[in-house]
Chain A
Amino acid sequence: MNMSDGEIRELCNRFFDAYQDRHVDELADIYAPDCIVWHNVFGRETTGTDNLAALPASYQGQRRRTYNDRIINTFDGGFVIQYTLHGVQHSGHQGALWICIVGLCKDGKITRIDEYMDSGKFPAWRGRGKSDAMEEKAR
């Protein structure tokens, strides 16, 4: 069944609210069973299941994350969202990443996510020096 513009927009916001509030169960409900997640930083596809399994460990990285400045545009069968991810690290350092996601939707679920971000900004996001990031990359 085709989703309306309003339904797609609502699904998109529900997804980011759940991500922000760490509601993994709700995210599992939002992902279609065969959902694919692709990240430009890694250049490979993973399954929605793998993505969800990695979330608890991923959340431990920051004290808080908020998904702000959301600009959502919908198209037939999906959305594109531009947003700023603000994070507070355990050290208290506040960082930001500017991200864009193209999401495909069907029957009230997200079937595919393509995420674009700049890993060159990871050191500033984490609040660590560039040399730390180089060492990490070399390992």
Chain B
Amino acid sequence: MRQDWNTLALCDRFFDAIEQKDFEKLEQCYAPEAIVWHSHDCLYQQRDANLAVLKDGMTRLKKMRFKNRRVHTFEGGFVQQHTLFVTHPNDFVGQMDVCFIGYVRDGRISRAYEYFDTGQIEKFLGPARGG
């Protein structure tokens, strides 16, 4: 039960840190060996490269919100389903349904898988690619 609570707290901390643009808190959620797989290229991204992409989004975008979060914890990790809303510099609000699966080691995310649909990328980036 305690493990579930810790995993839930880690999941909330991770997504809250992105919303709050708290890069230090975000970085602490990843284990040193963390890798992130994305369904659009089926490749594993190294920790630093992933953090750089997140940092860029947190800097460039006006707002990032993970809404309708549905979280389940399992032995060794969690799955969160959410709709990501992003407010672009040109005020276009994009959205995308995402399923994020995080595997946890020693209280940190060591491996993550992110599934989303690039067929709806205009709904996320906007017709003019977000400006």
Contact = CB atoms under 8 A, between A and B. Distances in A.
Do these two chains interact? yes
For the residues of A in contact with B, the DSSP-based class is strand
Interface residues of B, number: 24
Contact of B79 (A40, A43, A99, A102): A102
Interface in B79-126: 79, 81, 97-99, 101, 113, 115-121
A75 B72 contact: yes
Nearest to B42: A98
Contacts of B115: 40, 98-100, 116-118
Contact of A73 (B40, B74, B81): B74
Nearest to A40: B97
Nearest to A119: B119
A68 B91 CA distance: 42
20 contacts: A41-B120, A73-B75, A73-B76, A73-B79, A73-B101, A75-B73, A80-B101, A82-B101, A98-B42, A100-B101, A102-B99, A114-B99, A118-B116, A118-B119, A119-B118, A119-B119, A120-B40, A120-B117, A120-B119, A122-B119
Interface of B: 39-40, 42, 70, 72-77, 79, 81, 97-99, 101, 113, 115-121
Given A102-B99, A119-B120, 17 more contacts: A40-B115, A43-B120, A73-B75, A76-B72, A80-B74, A82-B101, A98-B39, A98-B42, A100-B99, A100-B113, A116-B116, A117-B117, A118-B115, A118-B116, A118-B117, A118-B118, A120-B119
